[in-house]
Structure 1
Amino acid sequence: MRSVYLASLSFTALLCVACSSQPLATWSYEDARNRTPVPPDLAYPELFEAVQGQQLFTDQKHFVDALPRRDPSQIRADYLARRDGADFNLDAFVEDNFIESGQAESPTPKPGAPIDEHIDKLWPVLSRTYMQVPQYSSLLPLPQPYVVPGGRFREMYYWDSYFTMLGLEQSGDTAQVRQMTDNFAYMIDTYGHIPNGNRTYYLSRSQPPFFAYMVELQAHIEGEQAYGRYLGQLQKEYAYWMEGAQTLKPGEAGRHVVKLADGSVLNRYWDASPTPRQESWLQDVKTAEQAADRPKDEVWRDLRAGAESGWDFSSRWLGNGKDLATIRTTSIAPVDLNSLMYHLERTIAKACETVENVACVNAYVQRAEQRQRAIETHLWNADGGYYVDYDWQQNRQRPALTAATLFPLYTGLASSERANRTADAVRKGLLRPGGIATSQVNNGQQWDEPNGWAPLQWVAVEGLERYGQTDLAREIGSRFLQQVQALYRKEDKLVEKYDVSGQGSGGGGGEYELQDGFGWTNGVTLKLLGKYGG
């Protein structure tokens, strides 16, 4: 088994690496509408399964990010012709035919450097500009520069980027906020939705719909004309999430939409491909094997839907709350997703107002009000006093308290009475020495206890402040900020997640090692420093 990373290389350097044989052609973002992107598992399926199945690399994402040195069809034919030979060596074959991807670098801070100074120096290190990419790369080119999270995450991710953009704005880099917003608008226009990340293997799904918040941020920077400029893309994103809603009967679900027995329409996470995730292929194959009583494609789609949620993985999606093989994401109408859809509807109404389209305003206000009623009816746990997810197949709530309960406060759809009860439940059930825990279940999944994640801390702070719960907001924000600073002082880095139980360490669990960088932690840290100081 080989180590997963070589030194970081730009695509310009990668092209030069291949020049000894023949130059690699490129394609640009302008060509995307005339291309059908082919992910690695379809370009050379037999080789892909051999490499991933034999764990040639310690991280399954590494091979799908590697760059073929020549036409994948030629690589596939060559592999099929040679694989049964007595002297065939898979490791050598991959080395001969692929250029390995590199890891994002992180600068070592000056001794005693303030954390905000270190973050400001991280932005250019994490920035990428790939208006064109090598022809057979899994990376999708984008028209503007962007910031990647860091570590193994060498591409632009959807919901990560919003929290990164908050930090860029705090650092005064409003130009890059606009550039990244334009990148997401481009992907909506080109692919019909914003994919999980700008890779071919991410195109079958999206992530939590934060584009409306990006537009809102841009409007804060430049004025309300930004709403009108992105109106078309906002409506296209909405159409993607609501596709098929008009044809559903009560009790049915299709793609991302669920119609409950009473006719209420809510959304769920879903992926267009019922296969193992390419970047976690072996893990998904093994998980499906453990779920012997279920069709494999059903398990795989639920795993992919869990990845679309951003909470990959969490007890929220598990049938028994513990075993990943019981995952049933597509059976659940999540409170965070539906709160974000409410905000999207409200944002479209706002954008329609700026262009003086009254009929459009009324239509989306009505949709937002209908969703608000559905959330308050089906996702409010009256006994516990907090918001929960809803299992539409079993027609019952999932009563677990998680950090997702704060999204109705974040988006402003909750009543004051319910917001106050939710705040009390969070204070009693999720507040920890390092911020708020993601859930109350400790099962080894990374979106569970004892991990705390920067975006959820920000959602909590903003949501609680919105309803006058400033003391609890400050307590959460200050505790998380202290946790981030303590680890920074000890290890000179910011990481993607933290153990908020009081251990003073980075988080654990999940499918890969803890990653440094880290885009959304950097962004939220700067915002919290701006609110509460260092």
Structure 2
Amino acid sequence: MNRTDQHAIFDYDTRAVSAADTLTPADRYQELFVAVQMQRVFPDSKTFVDCAPRQHPERILELYRARCGTPGFDLRAFVHEHFIRYEMAPTEFVANPDDGLAEHIDRLWPVLTRKPRQHPEFSSLLPLPHDYVVPGGRFTELYYWDSYFTMLGLDESGHCELLRSMADNFAYLIDTYGHVPNGNRSYYLSRSQPPVFALMTDLFEDTGVHRATDYLPQLRKEYAFWSEGGEHLRPGEAHRRCVCLADGSLLNRYWDDRDTPREESYLEDRQTAQASDRLPYEVYRDLRAGAESGWDFSSRWLDDPQKLSSIRTTAIVPVDLNSFLYKLERQIARLSQVKGWQACAEEFHRRAEVRLAAIDRYLWNDEVGAYFDYDWKRRQPRDNLTAATLTPLFVRIASKTQAERVAAVVRERLLAPGGLSTTELSGTGEQWDRPNGWAPLQWMGIRGLQNYGHDVLALDIERRWLAIVGQLFERESKLVEKYVLRPSAEHAGGGEYPLQDGFGWTNGVTRKLMQEDARHEVHRCRAGQCRPEWAESLGDAD
């Protein structure tokens, strides 16, 4: 394939993008990095790795080594002297009590949009050629799977140019790094996130931003990233993101190419590893793989739901990841057919069919009537039901009978007053567990059920979710990262950081769902104007 085939349709010029500096803060600052994180110079471990140096990093490290052993050395003062803390530019954004929720979201998009005209030298931020939308709060960079759900709202708000910019940014990342990193930071380069670029290409085509076929080279390159090394595996072996199961079937797992503490959670990961009787590097790898899953963290990955140190992400074959990769294989097959590349189309159609058979064999539990993850090391299915069970419906893998059974299980076991529960298990202290609910899981669950005609349950989840979002918007004039799925005044908790305002994927999913339910009470809510009408929209399941 020549250069014209790969790049002609993209409106970016790599010569106009500053050269990426891929050294991570830990690699660059070495013992200074460790000292800053272990001594908690900043309350949030992510703060330091997002700082920019005031002079060349090698000079800073030299100065630190010369001074750190002297009497009275003040590490905190040294850091503030030599680094610029990243702070979002102050905005004058104030919720307008006359705006409805849709108008409020539309006014938020410019606040969350970044224009990469200047790139701080030697910072961890990876340059991008075009404007992009960040989630908000502590998340000041582009994130992979977040962006798909954000894009749903950008489309609904009429931001076609911004959608096109996001499309070209993802094409640029795949062309430059061979995959889409977790986020555009150097410390995220060793992992990706749930591979939803194939879903994005459908959205780009539906909205007229680009033809989906324009992205076929990038789709194939991303597929190569996820399947690297799999063809050489024997039953019971694994390599990076590939696992060869007992019958020779090849499925995928989450992974990270590093086995050190996550730099943005360095102290937390060190403490987690200390609480385990396993080798530290094994715990670090599983924590990083959990971050690649997007579900960081959940009892879904744990042996003991009360102990994060029992995490075993790399031992688990996830139903959602393999559903997304089935979609990727089918997308490559379909687009290759459109391009007239018959051999490629047939090969990827075959791969998709082989994966589907393995999903039915290893991830479908016929006794329960739902999809579950699989522990490939112990050769047994996991028994914790999660909202991921709806992902096969979302990408249209399930048979009609399987979809009916999943819908029944979801109605009975995962439906909460505020929407679709993340897991059945609560009280773990992890943010991707009950009682928390997340916008992307609502969207995939609703769409998955609609794909198979389960419109009543889909509408029930949608109405409950919009009511929860509307309630908090009326009370606090904002949207947030995650929600407690019950009618209460409490904020969602769990995890490694406080609840974040913003929030990209909540805005996107909510904006899209509002357009589809014009009669919902959420259309009448206003910031700071609490009303009692929400009771009818909230269910009583929990």
TM norm structure 2: 0.91
In the alignment, which residue of structure 2 is the partner of 1:368?
A: 352
Amino acid at match of 1:129: K
Aligned to 2:450: 465
CA deviation vs aligned residue, 1:96-148 (integer Å, no higher than 9, x gap): 10011114767221114201101000001100011541221110110110000
SS in 2 for 1:215: helix
- Equivalent residue in structure 1 for 2:32, among 47, 71, 75: 47
Aligned to 2:274: 289
Q: Which moved more, 1:114-123 or 1:131-140?
A: 131-140
* Contact 2:420–2:461 (8 Å) recurs in 1: yes
1:44 match: secondary structure: helix
Q: In 1, are the aligned partners of 2:273 and 2:284 still within 8 Å (CA)? A: yes
Check whether the contact 1:451–1:497 (CA below 8 A) recurs between aligned residues.
yes
Are 1:386 and 2:370 an aligned pair? yes
User: What is the correspondence of 1:148-227 to structure 2 with a 5 Å cutoff?
Assistant: 148-222=134-208, 226-227=211-212
C-alpha offsets along residues 46-82 of structure 1, whole Å, 9 cap, x if unaligned? Answer: 1111111011111110000011111111111110110
SS at match of 1:139: coil
1:365, CA displacement in angstroms?
A: 0.7
Deviation at 1:358, TM superposition (A): 1.0
1:441 aligns with 2:425: yes
Deviation at 1:222, TM superposition (A): 1.7
2:170 maps to amino acid:
F
Pick 1 or 2: higher relative contact order, CA cutoff 8 A, min separation 6: 2
Aligned with 1:350: secondary structure? helix
Check whether the contact 1:486–1:504 (CA below 8 A) recurs between aligned residues: no
Cross-structure match for 1:512: 497
Q: Deviations over 1:260-306 (max 9, x none)?
A: 01011100000000000000000000000001x21100100000000
- Deviation sequence 1:423-477 (CA, Å, 0-9, x none): 1100000101100110011101000000000000000110000000000000001
**Does 1:137 find its partner at 2:140?**
no
Q: Confirm or deny that 1:117 pairs with 2:117.
A: no
Q: Which residue type is aligned with residue 418 of structure 2?
A: G
Distance verdict in 2 for CA 1:33–1:250, change over 3 Å = farther
C-alpha distance in 2 between matches for 1:320 and 1:336: 22
Per-residue deviation, residues 211-255 of structure 1 (Å, max 9, x unmatched): 1111110011128x7122100000000000000011101111100
Pair 1:249 & 2:234 matched: yes
Partners of 1:518 and 1:422 lie apart in 2 by 30
Task: Give the Cα–Cα distance (whole angstroms) in 2 for the partners of residues 307 and 228 of structure 1.
Answer: 30
**Partner residue in 2 for 1:411:** 395
Q: Give the C-alpha shift of residue 36 in structure 1.
A: 5.1
Distance 1:120 1:32 in 2: 29
1:225-304 matched pairs, under 5 angstroms: 226-291=211-276, 293-304=277-288
Q: Could you tell me how far apart the structure 1 residues matched to 2:66 and 2:90 are?
A: 39
Query: Which amino acid is 1:358 matched to?
Result: Q
The structure-2 alpha-carbon separation of the partners of 1:29 and 1:101, relative to structure 1 and needing over 3 Å to count, comes to farther
Query: Using a 3 Å threshold, how does the CA distance of structure 1 residues 330 and 131 change in structure 2: closer, same or farther?
Result: farther
Extract unaligned runs of 5+ from structure 2.
1-12, 524-542
Structure 1 residue matching 2:329: 3-state secondary structure: helix
Of 64, 73, 76, 1:79 maps to: 64
Letter in 2 for 1:416: K
- SS of the equivalent of 2:243 reads strand
How far residue 179 of structure 1 moved from its aligned partner, in angstroms, is 1.0
Q: CA deviation at 1:381?
A: 1.0
SS in structure 1 of the partner of residue 300 of structure 2: helix
Alignment partners' CA distance in 2, 1:105 and 1:371 = 49
Q: TM-score, normalised on structure 1? A: 0.93
SS at match of 2:381: strand
Match in the other structure for 2:539? none
Separation in structure 2 between the aligned mates of residue 446 and residue 29 of structure 1, nearest angstrom: 38
List structure 1 runs of 4+ shifted beyond 3 angstroms: 28-36, 103-106
- SS of 2:107's equivalent? helix
Q: For residues 215 and 526 of structure 1, what CA distance do their matches in structure 2 show?
A: 20
* 1:24 counterpart residue number: none
Quote the residue 1:488 is aligned against: 473
**Alignment partner of 2:139: what SS?**
coil
1:359 to 333, 343, 358: 343
Q: CA deviation at 1:505?
A: 3.9
Aligned to 1:424: 408
CA contact (8 A) 1:105 1:151 kept: no
**CA–CA separation in structure 2 for the residues paired with 1:29 and 1:38:** 19
Find out whether 1:316 has 2:276 as its counterpart.
Answer: no
Question: Are 1:522 and 2:515 matched, yes or no?
Answer: no
- The 3-state SS of whatever aligns with 1:266 is strand
Q: Where do 5+ consecutive residues of structure 1 fail to align?
A: 1-27
How much identity, in percent, do the aligned residues show? 54
CA contact (8 A) 1:149 1:517 kept: yes
Could you tell me how far 1:531 is from its partner in structure 2?
1.2
Deviation of residue 35 (structure 1)? Answer: 5.1
Residues 348/330 of structure 1: CA separation in 2 closer, same or farther (3 Å cut): same
RMSD of the TM alignment (CA)?
A: 1.4
Secondary structure of 1:230's partner? helix
Q: Distance in 2 between matches of 1:434 and 1:34?
A: 46
Partner of 1:401: 385
* SS in structure 1 at match of 2:119: strand
1:451 and 2:436 are equivalent in the alignment: yes
Deviates more, 1:497-506 or 1:235-244: 497-506
Report if aligned partners of 1:143, 1:183 keep a CA contact under 8 Å in 2.
yes
On the 8 A contact 1:161/1:520 being kept in 2, the answer is: yes
8 Å CA contact 1:141, 1:198 repeated in 2? yes
CA distance in 1, matches of 2:345, 2:419: 38
Shift of 1:209: 0.3
